[in-house]
Every structure is written in structure tokens, then in C-alpha cells.
Structure 1
Amino acid sequence: MTLTPPMRSLALLLALLLLTACSSEEPQHRERFYAMGTLVEVSILGQPERTASEAADRVRRLLEDYQARWHPAGDGELGRINRALAAGESGPPASDELLDLLAEGRELESLTGGLFSPAIGKLIRLWGFEGDGSEGRVPEETTLEDWLADRPTLAALRQEDGRLASDNRQLQLNLGGYAKGHSIGKAIEHLREQGISRAVVNVGGDLVTLGQPRDRRWRIGIRHPHQEGIIASLEIGSGTAVFTSGDYERDFEHEGERYHHILDPRTGRPAQGLSAATVVHDDPVRADAASTALMLAGPEDWPAMARRLGVTRVMLVEPDGRIHLTDSMAALLQVEQDPEAGVQRWPDP
């Protein structure tokens, strides 16, 4: 069962409507490349072509480095740690950056009651969602039951002189739920350090802005989870992160049933009830993690989850096309297609 290609409709995933947001006389540089398992677009305004190209190339190298270091089954830092954890051994010394990210992961795991957890790497592997181009598969029921019986959390991960260890061999680290937010945030920092004052880094449709065009705010599109085109557009300013989790990003079919990559640690199975969750926030890591956590919380419990995570700008889409918008998100957003089942407004959590 081959996964639905993650590159599907990437022209829509990278729906940054930059040309409508800038004066026609302002220099613009866009560079696209493949990194972190998806297509990346770096858009830089107001810089000479050579300066912008060199800055975008540094972003490319940074993101490629993160991908090499933090692939859960690769030869980099995280892959080596995971192999040691599976063997019941202490891993090699972890970098300060990874330790800091795991500390943030512990906080997010606690805030979400374990719904968001970087410790479920083995579950992700069991479903065949671990690597780029991997094949999806439905695990045996007994295999899922064994994993659930000893469900791992970051609370079971201990640090010994900078080395990570755990008594639970089910614990495998996968940073996919928030490492993209961290990486894009670092890319924006790199651009700022190079003297770039207006740019967007867009990784597979998730993005962070730096500065803004001269004559208006950034205008971006949010992909429709059920059909071609965008479902809504947003106008946002500088230092804003927009992240979406959706059941269409990586999926496969087996015996007439569709399975997607957003896995619920409580059941060991794909989350049910929502097709997409978009979060706008100042912190890209929080936006990234929250979009996943809201998908897992589902249509009944998402307001409480948003409140616990401190996110107020939220859009959700149900499988029947119904859209849920918080008041703060509605102030930024314009629905571009007629919703299939209406729009429901919610007070900010």
C-alpha cells in the first residue's frame, strides 16, 4: 500500500499569494527546494538577487541539516539515540538543541494530557509513516495492543550526563509534530541575522513571516482538505506562524478504508472527527504542536485543548465540510469557497 504522495498538489500547499501583497517595483526572490520531506519555498523581498539567493541557500542547508540530524531512523543524532533506546541502552550524547526541544515536548505532552507526544515514534513506524516514500500498512491488532499496554511517554525518558535512556523499550522519539515549527523558526532567525528584513519561509504549506510587504500585509491561502484549491485566505503581519495538520497530507487505503498519519496515542489508530486544523500563533513550535493536538482532540474537545495550549486563532474543518472559526481567526480570514455544511463561530478559548 503506497502512501498518497506528500508532494500532491504542492502548488496549493505553497499557496503564498505574494504577488498580490507587494508593489510591482519591489525586488522579489523565490527559491524552491526539497527538504524535510516536502517542498520548501523561501520568499525574500527588497534584496538584490545575489543577496537573496545566498540567504535562501543558507536556509536550504539549515533545513537539510535538521532533516539529517533528526530523522527518527537515520544515521544522525536522533536515529542513533532511538537505536540505543530500543536496545535498552543509553544513547550517545544529545545536543543541547535536542535536549531543549525535548524539554519543550515534555511541557506540550503535559499540557495536552499526552495527546501530543514525541515518544510515539514506534507507533508511527508500525503504521508505516516514519520515512519519506515509505509504504503505509495496518498493524496487527495484537501488535497495537502490545504497544498500548506499555504506551510510552516522555516522562519515561531520563537524562544521564547528557545521554538519554529509558526502561521502556517501546519509547522511540519522533519529532515530526513540532520539529518543523522549530526548524522554520530557526530559518527565520538565520535570515534576520543576514540582514533580511522581509521574508516568508514556507515548508509544505506551514510558514512563518519576517517583516511584511511595503503596501499591505502578507496574504496566504489555506488548502481545502477535500478538493482542489484553497478553502480560505489569511492576511497576517510580521512574526506570524501559520500551521495546518490535515488527514490528507499522508494517507493510504486498505480494503476500502482510508488511514492517515495523525495517530491518537490513546487508541493507537488515526484520529477521527476532523479533516484539518489550522493555528495562527506567534510561536511556530506552539502553532505546529497545537494544530496536531487539536486534530487529536476532535470536534467536541478542541476548545478545551486550545485553551490549555494558549491558542486563540483556530480554524477547523470537519469531514462533512463544516468550518469552525474562533472570533480571532475570523478577523483575519476570508472563506474562499462556499462551505459544504456551514460555518460555526466560536468565542476565543
Structure 2
Amino acid sequence: MSARRTAFRRIVTPLVWLSLLFALAACSREPTLVREEQFVFGTRVELTVVDADAEHAHSVLAEISRELARLHRTYHAWEPSALTRLNAAIAAGHPARVSAELAAILRDAQQFVRASDGLFDPGIGALVALWGFHRSDFSANQPPDPAAVAALRDRHPSLAALTITPLTPDPASPCAQPDAVDAIATNETPAACVTSSNPAVAIDLGGYLKGYALDRAAEIVRRHAIAAALINIGGNILALGQPNATRPWRIALQHPRRAEPLAVLPLYDGEAIGTSGDYQRYFLADGHRYHHLIDPRTGWPATENQAFTVVILPQPDHRTGLRSDVVSKPLFLAGADWPRYAARFGVTRALRVAADGTITVTAPLQQRLRWIDPPDAITVVDPPEPQKGLSD
């Protein structure tokens, strides 16, 4: 039986609502609000800065845009990049020389893999590709052969299989051998050696890179002493300062099933918000929704949630954006078990829209929210007690 297929990428509507909120926030006669847009990481990006000097603001936005474009080129999961060269080396069983930045990203991502019990795992790129999400247009997608999914899942691809060591001149080093390859971008210098015990590992940094990019953009904003900024990468948003003297930034949360906001909340200096949802990259086949958030345990898209949103408080290490991007994934995939992982990551402000549309929100976040069309029932819960470890 041929499947009826419809592909969706719901990007524009949430950003339109955000733009309206920006306009409301900027209505006073204060320093100039300048906004630019671009398309990277497979999504629309809105960069908004507030500064007394419009020319200075535009130059900072241009620098941020160049940095985002660099990250997009360097770590693309399927177009030629340093990452695809690394994946090819892993598949062939070859060691790879990588840059210091990529080595640091991989080591850091491995920590999140461990902390999430493997729910967050960028090593399952081959599963994401098998589901057809390694392309810009997935209008022809259909569910893959379940046997193929099971076979790949049972090979247990995971970032945990990687060994990352400093690059040394030792002739016994794996990266000193003739089969070692360079997995670096133009003008990069090799700094580390990557090997894998599992050739099924294929790295896809889609659940990490937007948050990393948020923090890179924030570093540029701080370095140039911009008064305030809002960095929005496909709904992963980081706030710096506030748009005027009287109010913070205000963010619209996209309704996962309607072309309108679910709620609005203020976002304060240094905070970031991240949402994982089944409405962002998905296709329909025979009335079923298949999305890009693949559960490593099953090899199939997770089914217990429509959306999961976290607000991360300012981090002393300025990795707020990264945490907002990464942490929403294991909480989305965990389904009803999300409080355990919220406690592990120190998340106290969370909003869950379950598969049946029921809403659960933690009390600290509920206090901030202004519902656009109040749901019939909202379950408000105390935030899980944070555990020692990766917290906000």
C-alpha cells in the first residue's frame, strides 16, 4: 500500500509571533533595535540587538552571522564538512585527526550522553538518516523498513564508542598511522585524534549545535558591549539584557498543534529557552506522525510527547544556550519519566505537552506564563529536587 505523505517544517509562524513581540517590546524611544535574519542549521535564525549606535549593531550582527555560517559549514551532518569526513573515517575504521574545537564538542557531548543514560546521543546519525531527515526536503519520506531500523539500533551506535586523545608525534599513535585521515575544515589545525570502537557510529550534532551557537553568539555580543540582544535559532532562544528600561524580552511559546502561540513568558538577562517538539521536522504517512527526535532505545520517533520546553537560568560558565538545547531532548524522549532527568539536570522550569495534549508545568514556570487560550486543565507540579551534576 502506498503511503500518503505530507512534509512539514513549522518554522515561520513561531518567528512571526516573536517578531510581533519584539515590536511591542521596542516601542519606546530608546536605543535602536536592529534585527537581521538568516537560514542556517536547517532553520530560520533571528538576531536582534539593541544599541545606541546602529552601525555598530549591524557590524556585530554581521560578525555573529559569519560565526553561525562557519559552524553550519564545519559541522553539517550530511553535506561535505569536517563532520562528514569524521563520519566516513569512523565507518571505514580509520582514525581521524580533528580540530581542538570538534574534540572539545565531542568530549562535552559524551558527558551529556552519560548523564542522560543515552537518551541524548549524537552518535545515532545513521538512524536519523534512515528516517530520511538528512535532507532539506523530506516531502517524499516514508517510514523505513522496521527490520532495517532494528538492525541499526541493535548495533548500538553511541558517542560513547569514541576515544578522543591529544594529537602527539608518537609514531605508535593511531593518528600517526598511514590510514589516518584529516577531518578538519579549511584553515583548521589538527589537535586531537578520534577513534571509534563501533563503525556504526555516525555523528549528528543537530541536538547540540544550535545551543552551542547561541553561546558563541552571546560571547560576541558581550565582547562588543552590546546593550541587549535576543538570539533566536529556530526557537532556541537566549536573552541578554532587556529591550528597554521597563520590560524584559517576551517570548511566545509555539502551540504544537495550532498556528498560534500557546503562551507568552518573559525571558530575563542571561536566560535561555529550548523546546523539543514533534511539530518542527516531521512527515505524515497513513495518518501517523513521524518526527526527527529518534529514541536511541527503539530506533523510532518518540511517541509520548508533543513538545517539551525548558528554561535554563544563567550559567556561570556562559553555557546557558547549550544546556537549553541539549537538555530538552532527553526530557522529551523520557516521556512520563521526565522528572527524573529534570532533577538530574537541575531543571526547575519546564513545560510538557503530552501526546494527548494534556499540559504539565512546574510551578516556577507557571508563575511566569501568560496563556493565550488557557487550556481546559493544567497540572502544576513542584519542580524536582535538583541532583548534584549537570544543573542550572
Query: Same fold by TM (over 0.5)?
Result: yes
Q: Which residue in the other structure is 1:279 paired with?
A: 310
Q: How large is the Cα RMSD of the aligned pairs?
A: 1.7
Mapped partners of 2:290, 2:27: distance in 1: 44
Deviation at 1:7, TM superposition (A): 3.5
Deviation at 1:23, TM superposition (A): 4.9
User: Structure 2 counterpart of 1:183, which letter?
Assistant: A
Q: How many residues align?
A: 346
Mapped partners of 2:14, 2:272: distance in 1: 19
Q: Is the 8 A contact 1:22 1:214 kept in 2?
A: no
Q: Which residue in the other structure is 2:9 paired with?
A: 5
Gap regions ≥5 residues in structure 1: none
User: Structure 2 counterpart of 1:266, which letter?
Assistant: R
Is the aligned partner of 1:99 residue 2:103?
yes
* 1:328 to 1:15, Cα distance in 2 relative to 1, 3 A: farther
Is the aligned partner of 1:319 residue 2:377?
no
User: Structure 2 counterpart of 1:113, which letter?
Assistant: D
Q: Which residue in the other structure is 1:163 paired with?
A: 193
Q: Which residue in the other structure is 2:223 paired with?
A: 193
Mapped partners of 1:29, 1:205: distance in 2: 19
SS at match of 2:325: helix
Mapped partners of 2:21, 2:92: distance in 1: 48
1:21-40 → structure 2 map (5 Å cutoff):
21-26=25-30, 27-40=32-45
Which protein shows a greater Rg? 2
* 1:182 to 1:45, Cα distance in 2 relative to 1, 3 A: same
Is the aligned partner of 1:123 residue 2:127?
yes
Is the aligned partner of 1:332 residue 2:378?
no
Q: Is the 8 A contact 1:157 1:166 kept in 2?
A: yes
* 1:319 to 1:31, Cα distance in 2 relative to 1, 3 A: same
Identity %: 35
Mapped partners of 2:141, 2:218: distance in 1: 33
Give TM-score scaled by structure 2 length.
0.84
Is the aligned partner of 1:55 residue 2:60?
yes
Q: Which residue in the other structure is 2:280 paired with?
A: 249
Segment of structure 1 superposing worse, 15-24 or 275-284: 15-24
Mapped partners of 2:6, 2:63: distance in 1: 33
SS at match of 2:8: coil
Q: Which residue in the other structure is 2:332 paired with?
A: 295
Mapped partners of 1:255, 1:321: distance in 2: 21
SS at match of 1:122: helix
Deviation at 1:9, TM superposition (A): 2.4
Gap regions ≥5 residues in structure 2: 168-191, 315-319, 385-392
User: Structure 2 counterpart of 1:55, which letter?
Assistant: V
Mapped partners of 2:257, 2:326: distance in 1: 22
Mapped partners of 1:16, 1:222: distance in 2: 13
Q: Is the 8 A contact 1:324 1:346 kept in 2?
A: yes
Q: Which residue in the other structure is 1:307 paired with?
A: 343
Mapped partners of 2:334, 2:99: distance in 1: 32
After superposition, give the CA deviation of every residue in 1:6-58 in whole Å (9 maximum; x if it has no partner).
54525347457123334520221111121221111111113322111111111
Deviation at 1:271, TM superposition (A): 0.4
